[in-house]
Amino acid sequence: MSHYTRPIAISKKIRAQGVKGPKYTIWNGSNEEIKNMTFKAEEIVMDINNHDFIPRVLPHYLKWMSLYGKTFTYWFGRTPRICILDSNQVKQILSNRTGIYPKVDPHPLSVLLGKGLVLSNGDQWARHRQVVNPAFHMDKLKMMTKSMAKCAQSMVEKWTEIITKAETESNQPVEMEVSSHFLEMTADVISHTAFGSNYMKGKEVFLAQKEQQMLLFKFLLKVPFPGYKYLPTKDNLYKRKLDKTVNDMLMQIINERFEKKECGYGNDLLGLMLEACMQGGEENRLSMEELIDESKTFFFAGHETTSHLLTWTMFLLGTNKEWQEKLREEVIRECGHDVPTGDVLNKLKLMNMVLLEALRLYGPVVNLRRQALQDLELGDIKVPKGTVLAIPVAILHRDKELWGPDADKFSPVRFENGVNKAAKHPNALLAFSIGPRSCIGQNFAMLEAKIVVSLILQRFSFNISPNYVHAPIELITLQPKFGLQMNIKRLE
């Protein structure tokens, strides 16, 4: 079967099973159609009480579901993708331990993360997991809560200064764009907890990765011709410069640890990883390139996803004042105006429910994708080798059959009996994925979010500014297109 006729043959094979979808277009597949629908959907401005952003962010899924049903096929260039919205099939894919559903390779995020734990597969993934896992044990993470709190306190003090100054000039609540503050604060946290360095030292990595992210998004729906990445175009040259900046900075940080190894590698995430790496035997030892890739993953995943969790949690508490008051009462009851410790954080049950509901409605990852390593059967579908299985998390998180008739509503109470009983399927919440490839940093993210939200609730009341425009957008992760403007007032 030739390179050009294979997509047509696969399309016929999938359609013959009753799985339909848009027609394959030579070279671009469905990309142009997706791009056109997404561009048009960006004009939609939502009401702040409407949490169903699917028409804005995934308009192509919405259209194709209405035409072809929940299971349909479409094309990313010459690669077929099958949409999977059956919870049992999702569990079959994500919980599989044989490696027949690996991460997509090559993965577009490899520009940001290299071949670290998030994107590696097979034996390489198992080796990386063994080295990285010790750094994320809960007892180790609890030791990092002081660093998290210190960074959060610095942000809160900055807010207090801004608001105090503004209040002397006016008696009105102060409008602040908070998502940029969260992004900087979570970068500061990961600088301390992962690299033991201050924000200024890690700033170059942080800024370079943000540039990489924007460059990546620019080309996300473009199908490059073979060899394009090697051409000396303006974008390619800039990309190489950013890659070098990130690699050089991280190599410098890692080499400094090796030079001081007599005093120990350190108690931060990098130090714990290096210790596990050097003690694990020659066969499990990571190369410098692999250590750099894991450090990239620490930095990007450690601040990007948590910052957006904080942003959307603030948005939801700003539009649901009764829950803001409930959480404030819980925080004051459990720790007064002190900085919450690891033990106190475990007692914040309502806080946990709100964060889980924020992850359900506005989780940072809109889509999960796995690739069929071989011809296989998924339910009653025969999936050809190389097919990508696309799991639209945001749509599953709004499925009324799973979550009930109020699936589009903010209702943290659904999590009062835990994650497994919140919906009709125990694995319905996919914010951190499930199975062996679930997010290793989920406890880190939840601890950090609880600390930050607690400190904010102790000191401020807040609501959404009239200047805020509710326009969620997927820029690798889900975020408010124009930032989050909030009116914030100091508490007496």
Annotated binding site for heme: 439
Binding residues: 439
| Structural contact between residues 40 and 30, judged by C-beta atoms closer than 8 angstroms | no
SS3 of residue 195 by DSSP: helix
CB neighbourhood size of 340 (10 A): 24
Answer whether 85's CB lies under 8 Å from 70's CB: yes
List, in order, residues 6 or more apart from 270 with CB less than 8 Å away.
194, 195, 196, 253, 254, 257, 295, 298
Q: Match 């048009």 to its residue by tokens.
A: 40
Both structure tokens of 261: 């190894």
Question: Would you give the DSSP letter of residue 409?
Answer: S
Q: Is the N-terminal amide bond of 7 cis, ω within 30° of 0?
A: no
Per-residue b or e along 366-389, where b marks 16 or more CB atoms closer than 10 Å to that residue's CB: bbbbbbbbeebebeebebbeebbb
Tokens of 107: 């993965």
Please state, as a whole number, how many other Cβ atoms lie within 10 Å of the Cβ of residue 86. 16
Sheet holding 368-371, edge to edge: 73-76, 79-83, 388-391, 368-371
Distances (CA, A) of 124 to 292, 311, 355: 15, 34, 33
What is the DSSP-derived secondary structure letter of residue 262? G
Q: Which of 433, 381, 426 is nearest to 103 (CA)?
A: 433
**Closest to 418 (Cα-Cα) out of 409, 406, 408, 426:** 426
Q: CB neighbours of 422 closer than 8 A, spacing ≥ 6? A: 356, 403, 414, 415, 428, 429
Question: Cβ atoms within 10 A of the Cβ of 421, count?
Answer: 11
Would you put residue 114 in left (φ > 0), alpha (ψ -120 to 50) or beta?
left
The total number of residues written for the chain in this structure? 492
Read off φ and ψ for residue 35, nearest 5 degrees. -60, -45
